[in-house]
């Protein structure tokens, strides 16, 4: 059915770590520095002292904690010099020390900081370095896993929203959508609907702009509509219908007929669920007009209808609404051209 029967209120937190069954191993490297040649303020000196402290710690909590502080100071100094990869490495070593002393909250934060340093590395070089992007995502994944294991689902969910953006930079938008859905479910289960709305909204955007997966966008928007305040709920259903219209095949045939029937039924269903859509004259009329033009392949009329809607909503028009309308128009043009070509062949 067009609308999922899932009850958002009954959602339960999903461990975010389940999205990352094979956690990326956190990379570490050792840079041995000659202490006698360095100033004590040099970050390489501070780093080397911390590494040597770890080597002789032999499980001593105090020594390991002091080493973690050394790594933190070294990392900050490296970052101030623009050496973000080294700064991230220091934070990962800090994480090692803190985890060994069972300071798990601080250990998780060290991984988050390492992720941020890797991100700064890509920004500082004004380019998309795949290795740095992957390292940023790996650090964030491990932080999420750590907080999940400690029962800190909400903290993990908030980090998932950051991880989703890192997934885009790491060329994995599909994982970004999955991460946002898991985060949204956790927020719903803990009564934080505002956060859940933002997650679903962003997931729908990624599905449309980065994946071109309009079926995924429809599913996400229907979940979003369930928790959207009544005043704006009709706009979510409006976008879901536009996505459904995009899914109408660009070729005439049985699949086209089935898709058109599905669109008509879904429009009726949405207006039953959300009467405000029926009374949102501009949006409702657009939906009816678009469906009519699809059936009769009225290209000029569709252009006019779309143009009038865009001009009437120029202020506040979301970029994806215009994109969806363009795709609907392009599909109709393609369908009309294929029919005309077939007609000429038959003739």
Mean pLDDT confidence for 321-346: 85
Distance (Å, whole) CA 78 – CA 31: 13
Q: Which of 7-21, 93-107, 192-206, 310-324 has the lowest mean pLDDT?
A: 7-21
Higher pLDDT: 21 or 338? It is: 338
Distance (Å, whole) CA 245 – CA 267: 11
Mean pLDDT confidence for 317-327: 88
Mean pLDDT confidence for 18-26: 47
Q: Is 283 exposed, middle or buried (0-12, 13-18, 19+ CB in 10 A)?
A: buried
Place of tokens 């900081």: 113
Residue 192 C-alpha from the chain's centroid: 18
Task: Output the pLDDT for position 127.
Answer: 52
Place of tokens 């090692």: 96
* Nearest to 133, CA basis, from 94, 176, 197, 191: 176
pLDDT tens-digit map of 153-210: 999 999 999 999 999 998 999 999 999 999 999 999 999 999 999 999 999 999 999 9
- Residue 83 near residue 117, CB atoms below 8 Å: no
Q: What share of the chain in percent tops pLDDT 70?
A: 87
Place of tokens 């994806």: 320
Q: Which residues contact 31 (CB under 8 A, 6 or more apart)?
A: 44, 47, 48, 86
Helix or strand or coil: residue 97? helix
Distance (Å, whole) CA 154 – CA 235: 28
Task: Output the pLDDT for position 3.
Answer: 42
**Per-residue pLDDT for 62 more than 60?**
yes
Distance (Å, whole) CA 30 – CA 51: 8
Q: Which of 79-88, 185-194, 216-225, 275-284 has the lowest mean pLDDT?
A: 275-284
Structure tokens at 64: 């390991």
pLDDT tens-digit map of 241-299: 999 999 998 887 899 999 999 999 999 999 999 999 988 788 999 999 999 999 888 99
Task: Output the pLDDT for position 296.
Answer: 82
**Per-residue pLDDT for 97 more than 80?**
yes
Higher pLDDT: 13 or 73? It is: 73
**Per-residue pLDDT for 21 more than 50?**
no
For residue 210, give Cα distances in angstroms to 205, 225, 239, 285: 8, 22, 17, 29
Distance (Å, whole) CA 47 – CA 43: 6
* Nearest to 200, CA basis, from 231, 227, 167: 227
Q: What share of the chain in percent tops pLDDT 90?
A: 71
- Residue 238 near residue 287, CB atoms below 8 Å: yes
């Amino acid at each position: 059915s067009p609308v999922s029967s899932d009850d958002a209120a009954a959602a339960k937190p999903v461990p975010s770590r389940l999205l990352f069954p094979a956690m990326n191993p956190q990379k570490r490297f050792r840079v041995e520095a000659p202490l006698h040649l360095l100033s004590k303020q040099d970050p390489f000196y501070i780093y080397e002292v911390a590494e040597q402290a770890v080597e002789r710690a032999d499980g001593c909590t105090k020594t390991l904690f002091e080493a973690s502080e050394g790594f933190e100071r070294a990392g900050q100094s490296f970052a101030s010099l623009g050496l973000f990869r080294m700064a991230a490495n220091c934070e990962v070593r800090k994480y090692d020390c803190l985890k060994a002393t069972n300071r798990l909250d601080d250990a998780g934060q060290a991984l988050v900081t390492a992720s941020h340093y890797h991100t700064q590395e890509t920004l500082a070089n004004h380019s998309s370095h795949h290795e740095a992007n992957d390292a940023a995502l790996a650090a964030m994944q491990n932080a999420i896993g750590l907080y999940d294991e400690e029962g800190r689902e909400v903290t993990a969910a908030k980090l998932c929203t950051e991880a989703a953006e890192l997934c885009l930079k790491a060329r994995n938008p599909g994982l970004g959508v999955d991460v946002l859905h898991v985060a949204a479910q956790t927020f719903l289960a803990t009564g934080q609907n505002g956060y859940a709305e933002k997650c679903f909204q962003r997931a729908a955007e990624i599905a449309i702009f980065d994946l071109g997966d309009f079926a995924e966008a429809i599913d996400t928007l229907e979940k979003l509509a369930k928790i959207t305040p009544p005043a704006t709920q009709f706009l979510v259903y409006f976008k879901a219908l536009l996505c459904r219209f995009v899914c109408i095949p660009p070729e005439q045939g049985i699949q086209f007929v089935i898709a058109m029937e599905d669109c008509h039924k879904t429009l009726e269903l949405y207006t039953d669920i959300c009467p405000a859509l029926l009374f949102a004259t501009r949006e409702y009329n657009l939906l009816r007009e678009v469906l009519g033009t699809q059936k009769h392949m009225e290209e000029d009329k569709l252009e006019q209808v779309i143009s009038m809607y865009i001009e009437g909503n120029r202020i506040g028009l979301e970029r994806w609404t215009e994109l969806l309308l363009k795709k609907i128009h392009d599909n109709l043009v393609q369908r009309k051209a294929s029919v005309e070509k077939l007609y000429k062949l038959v003739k």
